[in-house]
Amino acid sequence: MLEYASYYVAIIVQLVTAYGFYLGGDWVFLGIASFPVFALADAVLPNDMAARKMNSHFWANVPVWICTILAPMLYLACAWRVGRGTLDGAQIAGAILSCAWLSVVPLVPAAHELYHQRGALRRFVGRYSQICYLDATREIAHVVGHHIDVATGKDGDTARRGVSLYAFTLNAVVESTRAAWGVEGDALAKRGKGRWSLGHRLYKAILAQVVFQAIVYMIGGFEAVAVVLAGMVAARFWVECFNYFQHYGLVRVEGAPIAKRHVWNHMGWLTRRMGWEITNHADHHLDSYLPYYKLTPDMTAIRMPNVFICFLAALIPPVWSGVIAKPALRRWDLEFATAEERKLARAQNLAAGWPDWFDDAAPATGQAQPA
């Protein structure tokens, strides 16, 4: 039961944040304050490399559902507080940041867990909870694009070597949106409909957003709508920031099989629980229907720092590149990559102005070596 209970950490954070909105004043910073607290705690705690021993799908999914439903409720709690007119400018900023952060972690991995499952209701809830970061069509590009093209030049979620977090984030917002709408248009065209006919998912996403903002307005007025939208916009960009660390610099030949080596894993104790194992996702790319509690840690993979540390390091690109990315990718190229992948990696290294570390490399096998 302790393993099941540990995944309620995210829900506790959501409830504490909601209570902060209820109290008002500087308490609205509680949500965003959890970020540095968890970053420090996950840096101190040892990595968690254990496989889960959870056998009940029902009880494992209860916190996922609660977390996903609570996410939009936080925005409504924020709207109520803003509508009371008691927050000053700094506190408004705190409320925006708290909503944005809680829309990224834990909502993104919770929604991801639901829309990857079988069942119309699960996918519906997972899909439309994404209004919290203005992207209720996100899973189209994720499922049809990212899961097919991961680690190739076609994948907008895989950052090329040398690309900064800032450049990647701006491009990923555009590319993921363009890809989702394009795939949806293609699907409609195959059914003999217009690419922008009324069946397009974009219109449903817009309707969901309009309805939600109408509720926000009824609770807190125009100022609440502005604050909520600001939180959603911030969350939209922050979501792409965390995508940056999942596959940064990894390469795969288009059409070649996807392997565990084509993902980075971050195995911090809190990272795994707050993220519903989304950072322990090597098995997820081999079978996207596997529930989070059945994802087995890859014991042969290169150990990456927890995702909080990666994010903070990437805010200063030379630190991210020099301290974390280059050493990890050098090992990956020399120990894990196939001969064809080494050619792609070498080209990216040269384009990024990185060292050419292949001269003394052993023959490529494409097989994972012990970490």
pLDDT digits (tens, 9 = 90+) for 249-289: 999 999 999 999 999 999 999 999 999 999 999 999 999 99
**Concatenated DSSP letters for 273-303?**
HHTTTTTS-TGGGT-TTS-GGGPPP-TTSPP
Place of tokens 């519903």: 276
Instruction: Check whether 361 has a pLDDT greater than 90.
Output: no
Please state, for a pLDDT cut of 70, what percent of the chain lies above it: 97
Give residues with Cβ within 8 angstroms of 358, minimum separation 6. Answer: 333, 334, 342, 346
Classified as helix, coil or strand, 151 is coil
pLDDT for 368: 55
Q: Is the pLDDT of residue 365 over 80?
A: no
Q: How confident is the model at residue 359 (pLDDT cuts 50, 70, 90)?
A: confident
The whole-number average pLDDT for the span 114-123 is 94
Q: For residues 104 and 232, what is the distance between their CA atoms, to the nearest angstrom?
A: 10
pLDDT of 77 over the 90 cut: yes
228: helix, strand or coil: helix
pLDDT digits (tens, 9 = 90+) for 215-257: 999 999 999 999 999 999 999 999 999 999 999 999 999 999 9
Mean pLDDT of the chain: 95
User: Is residue 313 within 8 Å of residue 343, measured between CB atoms?
Assistant: no
pLDDT at 1: 87
Q: Could you report the per-residue pLDDT of 83-108, keeping only the tens digit for each?
A: 999 999 999 999 999 999 999 999 99
- For 311-352, write each residue's pLDDT tens digit: 999 999 999 999 999 999 999 999 999 999 999 999 999 999
Q: What is the pLDDT of residue 371?
A: 46
Q: For residue 369, is pLDDT > 60?
A: no
- Contact between 258 and 121 (Cβ < 8 Å): no
DSSP letter string over 119-143? SHHHHHHHHHGGGGGT-TTHHHIII
The two three-digit tokens of residue 153, written as one number: 């030049």
Residue 40 has pLDDT above 80, yes or no: yes
List pLDDT tens digits, range 48-69.
999 999 999 999 999 999 999 9
Calpha distance 71→67 (Å, rounded): 6
